[in-house]
Chains A and B, each alone.
Chain A
């Protein structure tokens, strides 16, 4: 038995072995849906549970499934396992240590929309995990959980692993689809949305690894059970990736709505060497900075409450920044990341990240004046709301918020001042 919903491997040794997973109720949910549930019932169950996408956007999963039209076939489900946001490392732990629960979730989602071929898109760096998943899929075919006419029904399903090759943008769902189709990972113009015209122009559901991993226990225990944790609008547990200036970085499975203070101080062991906390990024490098006031630290980590702080919970990758961190340095780091990862399709993002990086380098090198700080703000603001996907927008979040909240960190560098 395990108190965990997603990180059950922490209590159950060798849960990545099929016989151990089976002994702990594995694939009971799968058998239940295929042999006794209509796809519409399953979609309704997901809606009733209130499960929201764990990849960052928090979109209701059941509703996403319900957009798939039943007059266009075939349907596809794609697991987004491209986890590449600086500060996020939760899907990796799930796939490494609890791979069958993830695969079972992908299978359940496939059944919900009656997909017969589904894909897991892994970032190329997850090479070892890709090898492992291929082996697990082969075991499932061998055991009769995947293949034709499952449990003597008419339903057939096959899973395939597709390895990326180093591109953050492929976590954006339409870029991910382009990548599976063998093209450059560049986002598509929407509409049409993937639910109608996705992979190979067919209706496609794209769900994050953690979202899918929630499905087997929801099928087994029901929507009411799922809602026992979390808040009314953000039900369930979530894996929080804690990193940065904190004594015990790592993944923590907690109910949505747990306050920042509990994660950072109680579980994360607080800030090294007793330094004072300065700011929090709740959604990895894409975050607007949250000033670490007492009120902010007592804020529950759910989608609505974090949005009320002018930030976003995203994939819940909490990066802690203490008083030793200069926000000008931080903005330079995140901006170089986005400049490197911009796919180059939209001009505001391609050029904007380049110029922000250029100005930030000048500020950090001590060659800037106060006018450059204002120019940086202008460039960032001009990029906003002008790109096909969120990457360009994300790149401006740490820049604009750090200029608004920690402008003195930038001014401390201008006119030849050094650290």
Chain B
């Protein structure tokens, strides 16, 4: 039983239709994005399901997950707060921004917050050099940019996400 196919039959059909039928392997990246949306990382079962759909081995799917930085194979924070500290952003204070954000949250880069909601990460150029400091939030199957940031505005973004997560949990309960 392919769990992924059972969960997203329409979406998977649409993904497969984008590529020539004899090149199913092309669907591996969109399928990984789809599978990662919920629960926030790629489970071994999802890798197995994707391998089956694309007609490749689970090892090959695993290598794709390992190569591309936006795929995660472990649950590590519901929201990845990814701060660009590349040179143009650093010239606009991104290194200081990252350091102070971590201090205010009491975490280190790469360590999830105590509630498991956030993990602060340092990432490479996000094509927003003119609006630094900036970060992207990757989680819940979405990816959103936040530009022209200060530590205070960033903490406000995190607060809003915290509330959104709490509302979603209540909805489930």
A joins B in a complex: yes
List A residues at the B interface (Cβ < 8 Å).
83-89, 91-92, 117, 123-128, 160, 162-168, 179-185, 200, 241-245, 249-251, 285, 317, 319, 321, 325, 330, 333-334, 337, 340-341, 343
Say yes or no: is B124 at the interface (Cβ < 8 Å to chain A): yes
Minimum CB–CB distance for B149 against chain A, Å: 15
How long is the Cα–Cα vector from A163 to B33 in the complex, in angstroms? Answer: 9
- Residues of B close to A321: CB separation below 8 A: 91
Give Cα A330 to B129, complex, Å. Answer: 15
Is B142 engaged at the interface, CB distance under 8 Å to the other chain? yes
Separation of A238 and B23 alpha carbons in the complex (Å): 37
- Given contacts A181-B25, A244-B88, A245-B91, whether A123 and B33 have CB atoms under 8 Å apart is no
0/1 interface trace, chain B 110-137, chain A, CB 8 Å (1 if under): 0000000000000111111111000010
What residues of chain A lie closer than 8 Å to B63, measured between beta carbons?
Answer: 184
Contacts A/B (CB < 8 Å), 11 sampled: A83-B127, A86-B86, A86-B88, A86-B129, A91-B127, A160-B19, A162-B30, A179-B29, A184-B64, A200-B20, A243-B129
Tell me if A182 and B68 are in contact (CB < 8 A).
Answer: no
**Residues of B close to A185: CB separation below 8 A:** 67-68
> Least Cβ distance of B79 to chain A in Å?
14
Q: In the bound complex, do residue A250 and residue B29 qualify as a contact, i.e. CB atoms below 8 Å apart?
A: no
Contact present for A182 and B127 (CB under 8 Å):
no
Q: How many whole Å from A231's CB to the nearest CB in chain B?
A: 26
B32 touches A (CB below 8 Å): yes
* Given A162-B29, A183-B25: A89 and B91 interface contact (C-beta under 8 Å): no
CA–CA, A125 to B70, complex, Å? 8
Q: How far is the CA of A160 from the CA of B18 in the complex (A)?
A: 6
Bound Cα distance from A204 to B26, whole angstroms? 16
* Nearest CB on A from B93, distance (A): 11
Candidates B18, B123, B130, B142; contact of A243 at CB < 8 Å: B130
Chain B contributes a number of interface residues (CB within 8 A of A) equal to 41
Q: Which of B6-55 contact A (CB under 8 A)?
A: 18-20, 23, 25-30, 32-33, 54
Binding site for A on B (CB under 8 A): 18-20, 23, 25-30, 32-33, 54, 56, 63-64, 67-71, 86-88, 90-92, 123-131, 136, 142-145
Of all chain B residues, which has the CB nearest A249?
B130
- CB distance B26 to A181 under 8 Å? yes
User: What is the bound-complex CA distance between A200 and B23, given in angstroms?
Assistant: 8
B88–A87 CB distance below 8 A: yes
Residues in B neighbouring A245, C-beta threshold 8 A: 91
Q: Which residues of A contact B32 (CB under 8 A)?
A: 165
Cβ of B23: which chain A residues have Cβ within 8 Å of it?
181-182, 200
Residue of A at shortest CB range from B28? A182
Cβ-defined contact, A337 with B124, below 8 A: yes
Q: How far is the CB of B30 from chain A (nearest CB, A)?
A: 7
A250 in contact with B130 given A162-B29, A185-B67, A337-B125 (CB within 8 Å):
yes
Chain B residues positioned under 8 Å from A160 (CB to CB): 18-19
Flag if B129 contacts A165 (CB, 8 Å): no
- Give chain A nearest CB distance to B68 CB in angstroms: 4
Checking B28, B64, B145 against A128 with a beta-carbon cut-off of 8 angstroms, the contacting residue is: B145
Shortest beta-carbon distance from B66 to chain A in Å: 9
Using Cβ atoms and an 8 Å threshold, which residues of chain B touch A91? 127
User: Contact: A166 with B68, CB < 8 Å?
Assistant: yes
Contact of B69 among A83, A165, A180, A182 (CB under 8 A): A165
Query: Which 3 A-B pairs give the minimum distances between C-beta atoms?
Result: A166-B69, A165-B68, A127-B143
**Contact for B136 among A125, A162, A167, CB less than 8 A:** A125
Contact A182 B125, beta carbon cutoff 8 Å: no
Interchain CB contact under 8 A, A180 and B130: no
| Listed residue (B27, B28, B125) with the most chain A CB atoms within 10 angstroms of its CB | B125
In the bound assembly, the distance between CA atoms of A340 and B122 in angstroms comes to 12
B70 neighbours in A (Cβ, 8 Å): 124-125, 165-166
Which of A166, A250, A343 has most B Cβ within 10 Å? A166
Query: Are A162 and B91 touching (Cβ within 8 A)?
Result: no
A383 to B25, CA, bound (A): 34
Once the chains bind, are B143 and A128 in contact (CB under 8 Å)? Answer: yes
Q: Which of B30, B129, B131 contacts A87 (CB 8 A)?
A: B129
B129 touches A333 (CB 8 A): no
Knowing A162-B18, A241-B129, A249-B129, say if A285 contacts B67 (CB, 8 Å): no
Query: What are the residues of chain B within 8 A of A162 when measuring CB–CB?
Result: 18, 26, 29-30
